[in-house]
Amino acid sequence: MISVRNLRKSFNGREVLKDVSFDVWPGEMLALIGPSGCGKSTTLKLITGLLEPDDGEIVLNSKEIGLVFQGSALLNSLTVRENLALALRERKLPKREQDRIIMEDLTLVGLADYVDSFPTQLSGGQQKRTSFARAIVNDPKIVLYDEPTTGLDPVMSTIIEDYMIELENQLHAAGIVVTHQFSTWTRTAHRAILMHDGVIVWEGKPDDAMRSSNPYIVQFAKATKDGPMLTGTI
């Protein structure tokens, strides 16, 4: 599980996260939504330890974390196989066992034929799926997705969302998905948190978003420019 308490983080004197607390349970997917620049990626980086919080506490029940980066972040100098092998490195598996896991993992995302391709030879959607495969190759108990469907066409978005749902059932991990794509968080998440100006302004089930009277989630879900979230800050 993931437990985040009173998280604070500033960059160059500007407070990006002011006071953020939430829990994610095993088998649960939490959507972190909010306008660009509200600190969603920063929250994920704090959870993975890539950044240190200024204040607050993060408790994780596992050090095995899978992170699907916004831009895939595959190592361009390595093939798909080598990218996955790097993630498996610490397990020091025999080569055949390692190859078996890699092929199984790639088959899951439909990319077994691309095992010896370089990332630059893949399409955006294929890179995203490879990044997926890399994130889950060690069966992590915590999986984080940073805008997994942003920049993909609607069909590829649906495919990625389906993978997320399938993985969720398989891994029984605690998951966080950062997104502002409506279909992604309504389809994949059990619960959503809306962030604005460094704090959580709404929390609830995706189904409740449209019915809520909370002005923030109404504005966000309906994507209107009238509401408490000023476009100037977005």
Ligand X SMILES: Nc1ncnc2c1ncn2[C@@H]1O[C@H](COP(=O)(O)OP(=O)(O)O)[C@@H](O)[C@H]1O
Given the rule CB under 6 A, which residues bind ligand X?
11-12, 16, 36-42
In terms of CB distance, is 75 or 165 closer to other proteins?
75
Does 50 sit near other proteins (CB under 8 A)?
A: yes
Ranges within 119-138 binding other proteins (CB under 8 A): 134
157, interface contact from other proteins, ligand X, Mg ion, none, CB < 5-8 Å by kind:
none
Q: Specify the amino acid at residue 170.
A: Q
Q: Which helix (H) or strand (E) holds 58?
A: strand 55-60
In terms of CB distance, is 39 or 119 closer to ligand X?
39
Ranges within 27-66 binding Mg ion (CB under 5 A): 41
User: How far is residue 150's CA from residue 184's CA, in Å, rounded to a whole number?
Assistant: 9
Strand partners, 204: 192
In terms of CB distance, is 116 or 162 closer to other proteins?
116
89, interface contact from other proteins, Mg ion, ligand X, none, CB < 5-8 Å by kind:
other proteins
Q: What minimum distance in Å lies between the beta carbon of 202 and other proteins?
A: 29
Find how far residue 26's CA is from the centre of its chain: 15
Closest CA to 220 of 194, 191, 186, 189: 194
Q: What minimum distance in Å lies between the beta carbon of 189 and other proteins?
A: 22
Ranges within 86-105 binding other proteins (CB under 8 A): 86-87, 89-90
Strand partners, 196: 199
Backbone angles phi, psi at 226, to 5 degrees: -90, 125
Does 62 sit near other proteins (CB under 8 A)?
A: no
Among 43, 70, 98, 219, which residue sits at the site for other proteins (rule: CB under 8 A)? 70
Q: What minimum distance in Å lies between the beta carbon of 70 and ligand X?
A: 8
Does 181 sit near Mg ion (CB under 5 A)?
A: no
Judge whether 28 and 35 are in contact, CB under 8 Å: no
DSSP calls for 107-172:
HHTT-GGGTTS-GGGS-HHHHHHHHHHHHHTT--SEEEEESTTTTS-HHHHHHHHHHHHHHHHHH-
Q: What minimum distance in Å lies between the beta carbon of 167 and other proteins?
A: 17
Q: Compute the residue count for the chain.
A: 234
The 8 Å CB, 24+ separation contacts for 213-217 are none
In terms of CB distance, is 32 or 67 closer to other proteins?
67
Instruction: Summarize as ranges the residues that interact with other proteins (CB under 8 A).
Output: 45, 48, 50, 65, 67, 69-71, 73-76, 86-87, 89-90, 134
